[in-house]
Structure 1
């Protein structure tokens, strides 16, 4: 049986929490990704998504503000690389998230299982 590791995108881009929102958005556009992991002193602490960018500007944050002000910090939901994709989909649904970081056996974030990966899972399930 395939796991989330078979469907995830890699590498995962990480930025420090004091990086400007504008710089993070620029990185996301250049790399064509919908999320980045936010770190503090190199330790993953949260996630910033394309939705967070929209939310930040609608709340009046400046492009020069630190990404920590617009990201979800402190409650980073992840799954292990050997997680069944349907379990990952269930976690995403229950938590209303579209990006789920994937950790290896050492605890390092090695990929991102996103809502766009669900179609790949479903494709593999069709006869």
Structure 2
């Protein structure tokens, strides 16, 4: 049987910054850690996520990258998924919300990792699982 829980795709520890960190410093951390997103915390509480797309939009709008990362990232209506959810549910959430990074949380709601669309499509056995779901929609978006 092929494992299909989303938590099995978490392949890096959580990369995070504290509220008030400049977007510029967050991007430097993302580059150093070779990740496309970074979680934003206020103390121990998750308050947002900053992604490559947020950086792209900020640059396109001529935003000051010295602004706090929470001003340029997503801090409202965060999309999360329970660690034991099936991979196809994660793929559906990403497609529905047009996102490429999904925050994985444990039963207590604490973030335990981030899964990217590349984590999902990069695994041959995952593609097999997704091809067998009842409702398969086209992936729409730019990359």
State how far apart, in whole Å, the 1-side matches of 2:11 and 2:66 are: 28
Moved more, 109-118 or 37-46: 37-46
**Aligned residue number for residue 50 of structure 1:** 52
**Aligned residue number for residue 93 of structure 2:** 91
1:39, distance to aligned residue in structure 2 (A) = 1.6
**Aligned residue number for residue 135 of structure 2:** none
Following TM superposition, where does structure 1 have runs of at least 4 consecutive aligned residues deviating by more than 6 angstroms? Answer: none
Contact map agreement 1:7 1:120 (CA 8 A) in 2: no
TM-score normalised by structure 1 residue count? 0.91
Moved more, 77-86 or 56-65: 56-65
Stretches of structure 1 that go unaligned for 5 or more consecutive residues are none
1:16-52, Cα deviation, whole Å (9 max, x unpaired): 2210011000000000000011122331111100110
Higher relative contact order (CA 8 A, sep 6+): 1
State how far apart, in whole Å, the 2-side matches of 1:120 and 1:3 are: 15
SS at the partner of 2:46? Answer: strand
1:9, distance to aligned residue in structure 2 (A) = 2.8
TM-score normalised by structure 2 residue count? 0.81
1:58-106, Cα deviation, whole Å (9 max, x unpaired): 2121121111111011211100110000011001100000000101122
Larger Rg computed on CA atoms: 2
Contact map agreement 1:45 1:75 (CA 8 A) in 2: no
User: Which of 104, 107, 120 does residue 105 from structure 1 map onto?
Assistant: 107
Contact map agreement 1:10 1:110 (CA 8 A) in 2: no
